[in-house]
Chain A
Amino acid sequence: MDMAWSALGLSLKVAGWATALNLLLGVGVGFLLARARFPGRDLLDSLLTLPMVMPPTVLGYYLLVVLGRRGWLGSWLQESFGINLIFTWQGAVIAATIVAFPLVFKPARAAFEAVDGQLEQAARVLGVAEIGIFFRVTLPLAWRGILAGVLLAFARALGEFGATLMIAGSIPGKTQTLSVAVYEAVQAGQDEVASTLVLVTSAVCIAVLMAAGRLAPGRIANR
């Protein structure tokens, strides 16, 4: 049982960090893609959506190539700061962040595009600076769509398996998340442990999905 709780704790920590990072990155990129006009915008959108359709093991492999000891970013981090991300929970955060990223920036982009531009113009004429308009008009009107995406991203990060296993491995108490622990338990024939882990995971996922469902745009979507 201890193993189940430590795996759950680690999963929540990894998913929490991945979600926080995605909230910042997803909102920023979603806003940029919704408002900025630049060549290659559609290509960038497609590239950023790739993690949604690519097998997580393929992503994990790419991450190993980039972040591994001999990878261009990994070797630089190692030499300059002594940071190694492979087989660490921080590596698992990066894997989960990338896998869940499209689930945040896609709805964020759609939510920003749905905000009536005339309201922003009205705010401009009323003398409010651009940064104020973003936080006082645009973001409040888009936040429901964004939050629904953020919750889905949390659920996705919580269930991340393939890329996490390749980057962070499966070190009990250190990098062994819930979904990895389930796999290990089944492999080892520990059916009781596996079923506990499965029940815990299912309960958390259902709770997150129900929360996301309640945020679906409705009549009072704008309050």
Chain B
Amino acid sequence: MELEIDIRKTLRSGKRSFHLDVRLRSSGQRIVIYGPSGSGKSLTLKAVAGLMRPDSGRIRLGERILFDSRAGIDLAPQARQVAYLFQDYALFPHLTVRQNIGFGLAAGWLNPRRDMRHEAVDYWLGAFHLEHLAHQFPDELSGGQRQRTALARALASRPQALLLDEPFAALDSALRARMRAELDALQRRLGVPMILITHDEDDVAAFGEHVIGLRGGQVVAEPAACQAVEMAD
């Protein structure tokens, strides 16, 4: 799958302003956008999902143009067919694990019932070993279980791409290594293209088929420099 991003965005807060000017193109299955916090990587990922509207530019995912300011194209997040794994998972606190996973499969004004039956929900509950937790609420889950639930919810609607925002930052280091291995195996099995943003070089080592370094809102030529420069700050 080919990803092409060419966007600009200016954010102002009081007297400070931040300029995002990202140009990148990749045909990797596993793209890692790597940079320190405040480098604009989260904004870039949100722009792909349609959660942040760039001032100008163009975003293309495979054959589909998601955003093109000149052509007046700006697909709603609902129409982009991507999955987004939020840093703290953003599970719906009032819904059970089963309802969370089935959320995107139920259209209309009503949430899926607690005892909803759906092939995809059952499949993902099984794939992430969550069957025994199906009726639990998110605040009753451990960090790893929450992440599995969020991944299951993201994948249940068969996305064209999986966007991951610092997926392991909220976990302790032992769990981080395990979830990294789990995601690695899962991605290889499903073959779903993924874009992962991180400031952790272990993520780069595990997933960095194509690594793009970001700093101060711009792509840097040598991604490895990101870490070195951050240390020097």
Q: Which residue from chain A places its CB closest to the CB of B111 in the assembled complex?
A: A136
Interface size in chain B (residues, C-beta < 8 A):
29
Q: Which residue from chain B places its CB closest to the CB of A125 in the assembled complex?
A: B84
Q: Report the minimum CB–CB distance from A223 to chain B (whole Å).
A: 6
Q: In the complex, A182→B31 CA distance in Å?
A: 75
Interface of A is mostly: helix
Interface of B is mostly: loop
**Chain A residues, CB < 8 A from B104:** 126-128
Among B81, B82, B109, find the residue whose CB has the most chain A CB atoms closer than 10 A.
Answer: B109
**Chain B residues, CB < 8 A from A119:** 90, 92-93
With A135-B110, A136-B110, A223-B137 already in contact, the answer to whether A128 and B78 are too (CB < 8 A) is yes
A124 touches B78 (CB 8 A): yes
B109 touches A131 (CB 8 A): yes
**Chain B residues, CB < 8 A from A135:** 109-110
B109 touches A125 (CB 8 A): no
Q: In the complex, A136→B108 CA distance in Å?
A: 9
A222 touches B93 (CB 8 A): yes
B153 touches A125 (CB 8 A): no
Contact with B along A110-137 (1 / 0, CB 8 A): 0000001011011111111101100111
Q: Report the minimum CB–CB distance from A128 to chain B (whole Å).
A: 7
With A135-B110, A223-B137 already in contact, the answer to whether A127 and B86 are too (CB < 8 A) is no
Q: In the complex, A141→B107 CA distance in Å?
A: 19
Contacts A124-B51, A126-B104, A127-B79 known; 11 new A-B pairs at CB < 8 A = A118-B86, A119-B90, A121-B77, A121-B86, A122-B86, A122-B90, A125-B83, A125-B84, A126-B83, A141-B94, A223-B93
Q: In the complex, A122→B93 CA distance in Å?
A: 12
**Chain B residues, CB < 8 A from A28:** none
* A55 contacts partner chain B, Cβ-Cβ < 8 Å: no
* A213 contacts partner chain B, Cβ-Cβ < 8 Å: no
From the candidates B77, B90, B154, name the one contacting A118 in the complex (CB within 8 A). Answer: B90
Q: Which residue from chain B places its CB closest to the CB of A121 in the assembled complex?
A: B51
Q: Report the minimum CB–CB distance from A200 to chain B (whole Å).
A: 37
* A140 contacts partner chain B, Cβ-Cβ < 8 Å: yes
Q: Which residue from chain B places its CB closest to the CB of A135 in the assembled complex?
A: B109
